[in-house]
Structure 1
Amino acid sequence: MQPIFSRTRRRRQRDRIAPGFGDHDFLRAAMVDGLAERLASVKRSFADALDLGCFDGSFPFPPGTRAARVDAGHRFANMAGGVQADEDALPFADASFDLVVSAGVLDTVDDLPGALALARRALRPDGLFLAAFLGAGSLATLRAILREAEGERPAARLHPQIEVRAAGDLLVRAGFALPVADGEPLSVRYASFARLLSDVRGSGSGNLLAEVAPLSRETLARLAAAFEARRDADGRVTERFEIVTLTGWAPDASQPQPARRGSATASLAAALRVPE
């Protein structure tokens, strides 16, 4: 199968952005806050956790949780005291963790179904999986000005994005129980095109496609002009990000089970019957 992303470019990009990541981490910070809030609502303890795609290791695990951290970038892995590995090639044994979290990386994994399957296998029965990443609808403004700047046949410069419904289907395919996928928009107003590009690149959301076409100075000038044309009354341009959040559990007999088909004791027709 032809790869979508370049693993080598992805690792190098993560190493390149690691020193200045704190200047562009607002997207991941929003994801981490959302996942931490969901985790806090779960009334149970977690002994062993995996931070999958750990960046700088800033995810706030509950007190007493032993956390292993893994990142595709060597520098991020070192910063977090973790190991370097791709999310779809994990070096952990099955049933090693009772919690797996991932913030901001799964949309750039070449084999996402494989990565989710490995995360599921790494969980013990009734273990919890929480993840967030940028989904379909993100960077709508940048995509629009790229189309304007490059005409009818624009080069592929931003990777395909995953819709919420498709993300939920992938959870089911990976074998998670009680799967939930939802989306939340985040709008950011930019004063300059340079800052938008800087955030895209500095957050790890830049072009990681296996085939990359060079961006000429002329195209960059047209992109900047298209950005300028979109300024609002306050002189800013709004970019939109869609954060997809996933929740799933490793199957266990203690979990709620769907009713057996045909086990209902009342008919739908009777329930909908209008009383006389």
Structure 2
Amino acid sequence: MSDQTPPRIFSPDRRKAIRQRAVALQARPDAAHFVLDDMVEDVIERLAFLRHEPESALIIGDWTGKLAGELAGRGCAVTQADPGALNNIPALDEEQPYPAGAFDLIVSLGTLDTVNDLPGALIHIREALADSGLAIASFPGAGSLPALRTIMMEADGDRPAARMHPMVDVRAGAQLLQRVNWASPVVDTHSIAVRYRSLHGLVDDIHAQGLGCALTSRAPMISREALERAEKAFAKLADNDGKVCETFEVLTLSGWKPKGGQFL
């Protein structure tokens, strides 16, 4: 790792506030949670395919508790953590060394796209694994929200603001895993397509799932005129049914800690 301090792109306070708002919004009966549900289901399928049956696991970011419940039902000792300290789940600073635990499985869901030192966070995960332990990290990838990006560019006109943060693509993910020395690394991605009848509905789903912008530099408030341009841009993208198809891309990084803890 470099001795240089990584640039402070993301605000830890905004990250925490975004996640806390999402959990509060989940009290609504119609609140969206399909991105996290998809990540949880994907992890369960991967564990079955790999025939990995952990005795101890650290689950980060699953404020639903679904994955923890599934693993606990299999006799796994589960530790939960979250950067937002949600639902009585202890807080975890992903940019600091993890508490000693030597976990057979570490799963991070929907949080690593907004850490300032992603290589460091991945190294902390690696170091917290037991020999032959598995790590799986899923988070929104670079192909996410193309429609909203187009809409906001048109809304801001000649003075575009940083309203959406940069995201990691498959190539960068592969380079990251090589850099941080995860063994037998695998990087893959898949997309979730959702159709929306209104811009308001799309933004509501983003807020309810904690997918908002956590950049340190806040963009200016959207003016009434800019909002009108955004609504017009949304209508321009709509299909014959009056709906816009938006994409949520899930990028997943996985790797192992070999027996003996020796990495190539």
| TM-score higher than 0.5 | yes
- In the alignment, which of 1, 4, 8 is matched to residue 3 of structure 1? 8
The answer to whether the 8 Å contact 2:21/2:210 transfers is: no
Cα offsets for 1:155-175 (capped at 9, x unmatched): 001010101111122122222
Residue number in structure 1 paired with 2:21: 16
Ranked by relative contact order (alpha carbons within 8 Å, sequence separation 6 or more), the top structure is 2
Structure-2 change in CA distance of 1:254 and 1:51 (3 Å): closer
- In the alignment, which of 211, 232, 247 is matched to residue 240 of structure 1? 247
* Residue 48 in structure 1 maps to residue 56 in structure 2: yes
Residue number in structure 1 paired with 2:95: 88
Cα shift at 1:75: 2.7
Structure-2 change in CA distance of 1:218 and 1:54 (3 Å): same
Task: Give the stretch that moved more between structures: 14-23 or 166-175.
Answer: 14-23
Cα shift at 1:2: 3.0
Cα shift at 1:139: 0.3
Q: Secondary structure at the match of 1:113?
A: helix
The answer to whether the 8 Å contact 1:175/1:250 transfers is: no
Q: In the TM superposition, what are the counterparts of 1:67-78 in structure 2 within 5 Å?
A: 67-76=78-87, 78=88
Cα offsets for 1:26-76 (capped at 9, x unmatched): 011111111110011222421110002232322132610011011011234
* Residue 102 in structure 1 maps to residue 113 in structure 2: no
Residue number in structure 1 paired with 2:232: 225
Residue number in structure 1 paired with 2:201: 195
Residue number in structure 2 paired with 1:128: 134
Identity %: 42
Aligned equivalents of 1:14, 1:254: Cα separation in 2: 34
Cα shift at 1:254: 9.9
Aligned equivalents of 2:260, 2:42: Cα separation in 1: 28
* Residue 64 in structure 1 maps to residue 75 in structure 2: yes
The answer to whether the 8 Å contact 2:146/2:246 transfers is: yes
Residue number in structure 2 paired with 1:267: none
Q: Secondary structure at the match of 2:94?
A: coil
Aligned equivalents of 1:123, 1:200: Cα separation in 2: 32
Structure-2 change in CA distance of 1:90 and 1:25 (3 Å): farther
Q: Which runs of 5+ in 2 are unaligned?
A: 1-5
Aligned-partner residue type, residue 229 of structure 1 = K
Residue number in structure 2 paired with 1:38: 46
Residue number in structure 1 paired with 2:192: 186
The answer to whether the 8 Å contact 2:59/2:78 transfers is: yes
Residue number in structure 1 paired with 2:256: 249
Aligned equivalents of 2:174, 2:63: Cα separation in 1: 24
Task: Give the stretch that moved more between structures: 226-235 or 245-254.
Answer: 245-254
Aligned equivalents of 1:115, 1:247: Cα separation in 2: 14
Q: Secondary structure at the match of 1:162?
A: coil
Who wins on radius of gyration, i.e. which is larger? 1
Aligned equivalents of 2:261, 2:12: Cα separation in 1: 39
Aligned-partner residue type, residue 43 of structure 2 = L
Aligned equivalents of 1:185, 1:56: Cα separation in 2: 21
Aligned equivalents of 1:103, 1:11: Cα separation in 2: 15
Task: Give the stretch that moved more between structures: 166-175 or 83-92.
Answer: 83-92
TM-score w.r.t. structure 1 length? 0.86
Structure-2 change in CA distance of 1:110 and 1:254 (3 Å): closer
For the aligned residues, what is the CA RMSD?
A: 2.0
Residue number in structure 2 paired with 1:266: none
Question: Aligned residues, how many?
Answer: 252
Q: Secondary structure at the match of 1:83?
A: coil
